[in-house]
Structure 1
Amino acid sequence: MSEHQPGAHMAAEIAEQPRVFADLVARRHEIASVAEVISARRPRFVLLAARGSSDHAALYAKYLTEVLLQLPAGLVSPSTATLYGAQPDLRDVLVVSVSQSGGSPDLLEVTESARARGALTVAVTNTASSPLNGAAELSVDVGAGVERAVAATKTYSATLLALYLLVDAIRGGNGAAAGALGDQAAATLEQSSDAVAEAVRRYRFVDRVLTTGRGYSLPTALESALKLAETSYLAARAYSGADLLHGPVAAVDAETAVLAVTSTGRGGDAMHDVLDAVHGRGADVVAVGSGADKVSAALRIPVAETAEEVAPILEVLPVQRVAHGLSLARGGDPDSPRGLNKVTRTR
């Protein structure tokens, strides 16, 4: 048996995403059937429960819920149930538990508790046979296939797409904004390769990275920081573009590497002044997204343009490749980051 090449699994899984997206869009009817049940129950509020990368996907779903459904949405703090035993009244509330593995005990307990307290519960997982799916009343199968690298790539982006298709179907949409994502993902991976290589070269020796974005792109900034930290062991910190100007910008200087996520739309437009300020302080700014050519940056990584609400599904792809490339360039193996396991069990 041949020896494992560092990063081979993560590279293959990044490359699989165009097919994963196309397959998931083709199964939209399955997700629409779940949405029909939710719509009939007319929830007054939405709560989202998740950990790690899935927490960033849940934040994306929060934006979708508040903007597209015009419903209030919040992120669950699992410890309120698991450590403190809180039992709020959740009648007429939709609780969506997001977990790639569906195996985290705290999310399982939160889901069971929420269902017992009257919530309509939905599990969004990549493991159809998981305990979480069994605990929830309804389930959405992400369908990304087995992911062997520890760092989540295809499962994260496919979870975003599944959540978009779910929310869009609840509002009566037909998934049109997601219809071409398979082809757009392939184009993004191909057209961004040179800029990704340059970003790896620029960031190879940095110790500190700041990531930033606004609106729908904030979850991508958070996921980017996590990927850089877990694969390349960088001190990576994510900020909303709005929060960045409220104080943290004082720590930005010529030694600061800034990865800014800026796609076409209101969120990207709101980043212009932020990046003017950061660029003016001498920071090395790499802008990622379909709006990257409109902001102050030293390097721009292009992403295919889409409707703003689905942009995060594409804009994370080149960032995954940056994390992969940096890990290898710094002597690591992004398939097996030190101290990490594929499934993290917390309570």
Structure 2
Amino acid sequence: MTLMRQETEEIPAAVARLLSSAPETIAPVAAAFRAFDPHVVVTIARGSSDHAAYFLKYAIELVLGLPVASQGPSIASIFGAPMKMGHAAALAVSQSGASADIVAMAKTARAGGALTAALVNTVPSPLADSCAYTLDIAAGEEQAVAATKSYVNSIVAGLSLIAYWANDKPLKTALANLPEQLEKAEALDWSFMLETVSNAQSLYTLGRGPTMAIAAEAALKCKETSVLHAEAYSSAEMLHGPVSLVNRDFPVIAFAARDAAEDSIVEIINGVIPKNPHCYISSDKSADAIQLPFIATGHPLTDALALIVPFYRFVEQLSLHRGLDPDKPAALKKVTVTR
């Protein structure tokens, strides 16, 4: 068993561990953010952590009604520009908490007046030390280079923060049930895509809203683990140029949750199928696309998050199928320290 597969199987337990301490560790931070009452939220992250932040952008905008922007770390680490952030909250997301540019941007945000919180899997760490608050995502040691359980737990930590901040009871309930739902998601089998995707030179992953963040993470994992070119697009952008590249040898994987965007994603996929029969979608609303089994968790945000778990299992299989080692992606390291 690869480390990646092992750590994917640990996701439900890691999520349960994180949520068990949330009333003591996350609720007080949420109270501080509620009292601060920011006008805007910024996120600071790179790689899979940035995709987690991307997911949280949609969650914050949907649940709290606050605009969210991604802050370019180079503003601090390369350009050294001060920022006026007196009415902002900042969430810095990192597995290691050691990347110099993320730490520099978090320090700049705090110096500019932002209320800062680090979502990290390593405490203590430079990033944790740089922020006013630290949320230990409690994923446990992650040895595989490709992030899996740390990605999921970063999102769960952020969703828990949002749920307490907004006192959102449906989201709290969905999170409480999430470990059980993720157990079911981990058992889903998407391996019927293996031959088609393995033989492709490129593919698209699609989403909209929170599932766009899932599509972005899925595309990254194709590149990281399987040396397969993949690009993530919002389904709303698919017809604005990207569809021109699609042919019979260009698979499309669409991540659709049980949310307000599902019908629009289905509509786009149905329009692409005449160019390529290898279109896959996690929805039962398309009569023509190939259905990916999914878990309905009872909440649109956790529905979206649960989709990454069977994809992680699939992409680990894909890497092995292509004669690669998903635990040792070419030219990559576990901790990327970027200036």
What TM-score, normalized to structure 2? 0.96
Mean alpha-carbon deviation: is it higher for 212-221 or for 74-83? 74-83
What are the within-5 Å matches in structure 2 for residues 232-247 of structure 1?
Answer: 232-247=226-241
Q: 1:296, 1:264 → 2: CA distance?
A: 17
What are the within-5 Å matches in structure 2 for residues 61-72 of structure 1?
Answer: 61-72=56-67
**Alpha-carbon deviations, 1:106-162, whole Å to 9, x = none?**
000001111111111100011111110011000111001000100001110111111
Q: CA deviation at 1:313?
A: 2.2
Q: CA deviation at 1:229?
A: 0.7
Match among 174, 184, 189 for residue 187 of structure 1: 184
What TM-score, normalized to structure 1? 0.94
Q: CA deviation at 1:216?
A: 1.1
SS of equivalent residue, structure 2 residue 26: helix
Q: 1:304 is matched with which residue?
A: 295
Letter paired with 1:206: A
User: Are 2:248 and 2:277, in contact at CA under 8 Å, matched by a contact in 1?
Assistant: yes
User: Are 1:260 and 1:286, in contact at CA under 8 Å, matched by a contact in 2?
Assistant: yes
Q: CA deviation at 1:176?
A: 1.1
SS of equivalent residue, structure 1 residue 339: coil
**Alpha-carbon deviations, 1:159-178, whole Å to 9, x = none?**
11111111111111241121
SS of equivalent residue, structure 1 residue 293: coil
Q: 1:106, 1:302 → 2: CA distance?
A: 39
Gaps of 5+ in 2: none
SS of equivalent residue, structure 1 residue 180: helix
User: Are 1:108 and 1:132, in contact at CA under 8 Å, matched by a contact in 2?
Assistant: yes
Q: CA deviation at 1:297?
A: 5.1
Q: 2:337 is matched with which residue?
A: 345
Q: 1:14, 1:326 → 2: CA distance?
A: 15
Q: 1:82 is matched with which residue?
A: 77
Letter paired with 1:322: F
SS of equivalent residue, structure 1 residue 211: strand
Q: 2:93, 2:193 → 1: CA distance?
A: 31
SS of equivalent residue, structure 2 residue 79: coil
User: Are 1:49 and 1:95, in contact at CA under 8 Å, matched by a contact in 2?
Assistant: yes
User: Are 1:199 and 1:299, in contact at CA under 8 Å, matched by a contact in 2?
Assistant: no
Q: 1:51, 1:324 → 2: CA distance?
A: 22
Q: 2:251 is matched with which residue?
A: 257
- Check if 1:13 corresponds to 2:3: no
User: Are 1:275 and 1:296, in contact at CA under 8 Å, matched by a contact in 2?
Assistant: no
Quote the sequence identity (%): 36
Structure 1 residues 69 and 176: alpha-carbon distance in aligned structure 2, compared to 1, 3 A threshold: same
Q: 1:150 is matched with which residue?
A: 145
What are the within-5 Å matches in structure 2 for residues 287-298 of structure 1?
Answer: 287-288=281-282, 292-296=283-287, 298=289
- Check if 1:228 corresponds to 2:222: yes
Q: 2:287, 2:78 → 1: CA distance?
A: 45
Q: CA deviation at 1:283?
A: 4.2
Letter paired with 1:236: A
- Check if 1:160 corresponds to 2:155: yes
Q: 2:159, 2:328 → 1: CA distance?
A: 30
User: Are 1:56 and 1:219, in contact at CA under 8 Å, matched by a contact in 2?
Assistant: yes
Q: CA RMSD in A?
A: 1.2
**Runs (4+) off by over 6 Å:** none
Q: 2:305, 2:210 → 1: CA distance?
A: 10
**Alpha-carbon deviations, 1:75-108, whole Å to 9, x = none?**
1111122222221211121011011111110000
User: Are 2:203 and 2:250, in contact at CA under 8 Å, matched by a contact in 1?
Assistant: yes
Letter paired with 1:179: A
Letter paired with 2:3: H
The alignment of Structure 1 onto Structure 2 pairs a total of residues equal to 335
User: Are 1:253 and 1:281, in contact at CA under 8 Å, matched by a contact in 2?
Assistant: yes
- Check if 1:32 corresponds to 2:39: no
Match among 294, 310, 313 for residue 305 of structure 2: 313
